[in-house]
Structure 1
Amino acid sequence: MFCYQCEETLNGTGCTKNGVCGKKGDVADLQDDLMYLLKSIAFYNSKARANGLNDARTDKFMLDGMFATVTNTNFSKTDFERLISEGFEIKDGIKQKLLAAKVIDEKSGSSFPRWIKEKLLGASPNAGQELPLMAKVTPESLANINTGILATENEDIRSLRELLTYGLKGIAAYAHHASVLGYRDDDIMAFMENALLATMDDEMGVDELVPMVMECGSKGVATLALLDKANTTTYGNPEPTAVNIGVRENPAILISGHDLRDMERLLEQTQGTGVDVYTHGEMLPANSYPAFKKYDNFVGNYGGSWWKQKEEFEKFNGPILMTTNCLVPPKESYLNRIYTTSIVGFDGVTHINPDENGAKDFSAIIEQAKACKPPEQLEEGTIMGGFAHVSALSVADKIIEAVKAGQIKKFIVMAGCDGRHKERDYYTDFAEALPEDTVILTAGCAKYRYNKLDLGDIGGIPRVIDAGQCNDSYSLVVIAQKLAEAFGLEDINDLPVSYNIAWYEQKAVLVLLALLSLGVKNITLGPKLPAFVSPNVLNVLVEQFNIRPNATVEEDLKVLL
């Protein structure tokens, strides 16, 4: 095992036995195998797509497979063995389509790129040689292939390949959510396939990989825009909402993760049952969608960030539904109350699969909830949310007037992820230390470090403008672009906006690449820099974009203000 895809990786270098996240070494190895297999599928499916032979099942498998490897998403050895088995079936099915359509010739391998032949056969193959390993990878051969990160020996090439891979995992996560709601983009899928193959191409050096990484960022913007359209078309534009954080006396279900479709299903099925529904973690923004406000058993949000699960899930008393990433390996005391669905998995918990029509039956969760005590109250009051781009821009004139009048001197983008390490108290301290003429723009679970602070408002404009989930980071881009237009600025970097971004996992990597692709510079990143970014690659990012690590609150205030 070797894994360094998340911010908490062991000693800031890499996990080699088990993951700090709770992932076992054998599961990490299976995830590496799955990623290699996905590259093999991409190899075939890029040809199928070019010839109009690709299908929706393959696209879904590509998205789900990559999303399942995102940190804190799936810990199940059984699930990854099943995914690998299904992947071989899909790969072989595409191969047969291509052979039948005479797109490929199994005897000569003439239609395969030279780099694959040379890399995997050791020499330029002549007619009559068997197909290269990428095309012929089998369950048996997979066990003998080094599918891990360290198979790439050159540190800088490895760094760029992993940066690209983690960006692709972020795209897969966001495209998965859009796909669930029926929104898909063939160009995004085609890029993902080509980019996966680029991570195997030894003919691509630093000069070729850097533009590919930047293109991943621009495709990330397109993916986030697609998801924004999917969410708002389906559930309406989020509205500024005071979200209840107290509890009622009814038994209840807690829903966590990010999937709004599962949220809708759960609310529909709990109507009239006497069971309340609360959000947790990144599901908090669901409280601001108009479509969900009609449900009288939708109470509000319970608890805080993902890493507090072990304490908060125990106190909730009722069952918990995990819809996407942000699962922490559960304690025995509430293991029998955890349910997973979609790409989430943990051996020993109940998983809810859709039926042949895509419907999900949550009756088992509802029946268990009826027999549980109501949630233990953690806090009371409300927190504000719902300031996605439509809501925020509806008061753009007011914001512009406040800037021109000197009431707002600076916007600080504090988006991204939260984490469990003590050093993340920095973000609370930084928010508290900001002068009263600054406004925080946020999205993602990073907000839990300061969204319950009493920071007040500026002329009715909240000092924390929360755009929603990390999925809603696109709103921050739209807000910044529209403000630049309103002030007549051609360069987004001329706005009174600074960036103090917290990262944890691969979706945040994609958001960072998206910002870079838009030309955003002078980003402060923390709480520590990614282990997978080599010194030389870091120098490129510093030279081109002036990325810097965060320091102390005092030092960063001087820089960012």
Structure 2
Amino acid sequence: MKMFCYQCQETARGKGCEIQGVCGKKPETSARMDQLLYIARGMAIVNRQLREKGASSKDASRFIVDALFTTITNANFNNDMLDGYISKALDLKNELEGESKKRGMEPPFMPEVSYHIPKEEYGVHEVIEHSGTLEEEITSVLHDKNPNIRGLKQLAMYGCKGMAAYARHACNLGYEDEDIYVVIENALAEISRPDISVDELFSLVLNVGDGGVKAMALLDKANTSTYGNPEITKVNIGVRNRPGILVSGHDLKDLEELLEQSAGKGVDIYTHSEMLPAQSYPFFKKFPHFAGNYGNAWWRQIDEFETFNGMFLFTSNCIVPPRPKTTYMDRVYTTGVVGMPGTHFIPEGKDGKKDFSEIIERAQTCQPPTEIERGEIVAGFAHNQVLALAPKIIDLIKSGKIRKFVVMAGCDGRMPSRKYYTEFAERLPKDCVILTAGCAKYRYNKLPLGDIEGVPRVLDAGQCNDSYSLVVIANALKDAFDLESVNDLPIVYNIAWYEQKAVIVLLALLSLGVKNIHTGPTLPAFFTPEILKVLQEKFNIGTIATVDEDLATLIG
């Protein structure tokens, strides 16, 4: 066993990656991430103590968010970049401890296990006295011998990773909420306690879910205040005849700066995967060189990037290590927390802005994209737009023309079993409407599913973080029908998960009391039978079966 990681849905054998990550993560990269997270936990413990005295560090809180974000699945594969994070983490942690000592505060407890890896083995910083066996420290997640304790701790950790991603995107637009930092740092401190109980961990997990709701609400406010409310938009999925830059990931601030700097340069900007919802914001529509959406979900990039012919910008996670004979890697640029060997990194300047001139200049020399499909898809059904349609939707529900809404949000992935979601959408009764957010939509958003008296049968709220829109919509319908709970609405949940942002969406829904959620295509490897049993008892959470069985269960 050279490493251990089971944070994503595609983990090896549904149990854990031990030799190399299915995502492409190497053991030496995994070791660095383990160490970075260990130091971040120590920072959280000290900063939580300082916060009690009104002396917490905002720089430390922001760094902890970045440390969590950069270790999310498919974000950072660059060891040198991770070493830089570790060095900065140590400096910040020393500053925090120095501040604590100056105030005469008792030294706080520290995490119970060091994730030190001998320097000669992987080149990771020698930080803490070696303790335990080499195997225990490489497999740092497995240090907790009780699988229920371990699973719940990681559930909290992975929820914090997803929350951190949303908090960082909001921060990039100038929006922060101290309560989110409090939830994250408290969770990291609590999972470091060697004496924490299963019951305490279940409460902690739901508290992380509360933080997730706040983070998604904050990002929704940041996005809509900056770029306007998304509106119904027909998005072209064909190509133009000029060179292009394909923007992937989730960060709208990066897209804004790229569009502004590339205006009038003879280059078109296309969205990819989770950046598709940007097409629906009024602000971005003012750029005539903002073209359509190219390609599909993140995992298909290794084929689709070969035909795009232009340049690529990754603004957040969803980057995939290339095949050996890939031709496009030298044309890939990353920024923010994203890193990949063989690509180019665009840093943030001292003025807080980024210089995209190099990628723009190189794009000008590229061939136009090769067309891989034609047509349009409709997007822009975030909460403001759907609520504008609410009277019509309510009438359709009351008349029986809309029987149920099916929330099919979440992530897409490579496993063949995910064709289930396409078949489920195809066979869904024609009086049912899909509410979606995240890249899971690529399994069915190009199907000819039609509409119900002008209301499309796929209402796309946007990115994974826009699952918050689905909560707003559900609460509005609850109030309109004068119901006590959203669980009384004709809404069912069939959610796909892949990585940690889907985890925080699930925890957010649970913290809001939403029940009867089906999730798949497989259960998280960190869900033990005992954890699943409690979730089933409290929330009636279920797993997918066959399309026929689930249609009978969810639709009736």
Give the structure-2-normalised TM-score: 0.95
2:393 pairs with 1:399: yes
Structure 2 residue aligned with 1:175:
167
Give, as a single letter, the amino acid of the residue that structure 2 aligns with 1:486. Answer: A
Q: Deviations over 1:284-316 (max 9, x none)?
A: 000000000000000110000000001111100
Q: 354, 361, 364: which is aligned to 2:348?
A: 354
Distance 1:505 1:143, change over 3 A: farther
Aligned mate of 1:84, from 83, 86, 92: 86
Q: Could you tell me which amino acid in structure 2 is paired with residue 391 of structure 1?
A: Q
2:128 to 141, 161, 168: 141
Aligned length: 536
Contact residue 303 and residue 312 of structure 1 kept, 8 A: yes
Give 1:473 deviation, angstroms. Answer: 0.7
User: 2:44·2:188 contact (CA, 8 Å) conserved in 1?
Assistant: yes
Deviation of the 1:143 alpha carbon: 5.7
**8 Å CA contact retained: 2:259, 2:287:** yes
Rounded to whole Å, the distance in 2 between the matches of 1:335 and 1:350 is 9
Q: Which residue of 1 aligns with 2:43?
A: 41
Q: Report 1:8-407 matches (<5 A).
A: 8-104=10-106, 109=107, 112=108, 139-141=126-128, 144=131, 146=137, 148-331=140-323, 332-407=326-401
2:149 aligned partner, one-letter code: I
Relative distance call for 1:536 and 1:300 in structure 2 (3 A) is same
How far the C-alpha of 1:120 sits from its partner, in A, is 7.7
Q: Distance in 1 between matches of 2:29 and 2:310?
A: 29
Displacement, 1:177? 0.7
The aligned amino acid for 1:23 is K
SS in 1 for 2:518: strand
**Structure 1 contact 416–508 (Cα < 8 Å) conserved:** yes
| Equivalent position SS for 1:34 | helix
Specify the alignment match of 1:544 in structure 2: 538
CA distance in 1, matches of 2:534, 2:49: 33
Q: Distance in 2 between matches of 1:236 and 1:286?
A: 11
Q: What SS does the aligned partner of 2:16 have?
A: coil
Partner SS, residue 328 of structure 2: helix
Alignment deviations for residues 413-449 of structure 1 (CA, whole Å, 9 cap, x no partner): 0000000111100000000000110000000000000
Corresponding residue of 1:436: 430
**How far apart are residue 248 of structure 1 and its match?**
0.5
User: What amino acid is the match of 1:281?
Assistant: S
Structure 2 gap segments, 5+ residues each? 115-124
Provide runs of 4+ in structure 1 moved above 6 Å. none
Structure 1 CA distance for aligned equivalents of residues 198 and 329 of structure 2: 46
SS at match of 1:141: coil
Aligned to 2:493: 499
Q: Distance in 1 between matches of 2:235 and 2:53?
A: 50
Matched residue SS, 1:293: helix
Task: Note the C-alpha offset of 1:142.
Answer: 6.2
Q: Identify which range, 184-193 or 277-286, moves more after superposition.
A: 184-193
Once residues 233 and 278 of structure 2 are traced to their aligned partners in structure 1, the CA distance between those partners, rounded to angstroms, is 10
- 1:255-278 CA distances to partner (integer Å, 9 max, x unpaired)? 000000000001001101000000
Deviations 1:126-185 (A, max 9, x none): xxxxxxxxxxxx943166573710000001100110111101111111111111111111
Q: Any idea what the Cα deviations from partners look like across 1:363-393, whole Å, max 9, x if unmatched?
A: 1101111110000001111100000000000
CA distance in 1, matches of 2:113, 2:310: 53
Report matched runs for 1:376-525 at 5 Å: 376-525=370-519
TM-score by length of 1: 0.94
Letter in 2 for 1:86: K
Counterpart of 1:420 in 2: which secondary structure?
Answer: coil
Identical counterparts, % of pairs: 54
- 1:78 touches 1:347 (CA, 8 Å); kept in 2? no
2-structure distance, mates of 1:216, 1:54 = 20
> Which amino acid letter does the alignment assign opposite residue 303 of structure 2?
E
2:168 counterpart SS class: helix
Q: The residue matched to 2:142 in structure 1 has which SS?
A: helix
Per-residue CA deviations over 1:504-532 (Å, capped at 9, x if unaligned) read 00000000011111111111110000001
Q: Provide, for residues 53-85 of structure 1, a one-character-per-residue CA deviation record: whole Å limited to 9, x for no partner.
A: 233321221111100010001011111111111
Q: Which amino acid aligns with 1:140?
A: V
Do 1:88 and 1:139's aligned partners in 2 also have CA atoms closer than 8 Å? Answer: no
Whether the aligned pair in 2 keeps the contact of 1:410 and 1:439 (CA below 8 Å) is: yes
Structure 1: unaligned runs, 5 residues or longer: 122-137
Alignment counterpart, residue 525 of structure 2, candidates 531, 536, 539 = 531
How many Å separate the matches in 2 of 1:259 and 1:542? 35
Question: Is the CA contact (8 Å cut-off) linking 2:251 and 2:315 kept in structure 1?
Answer: yes
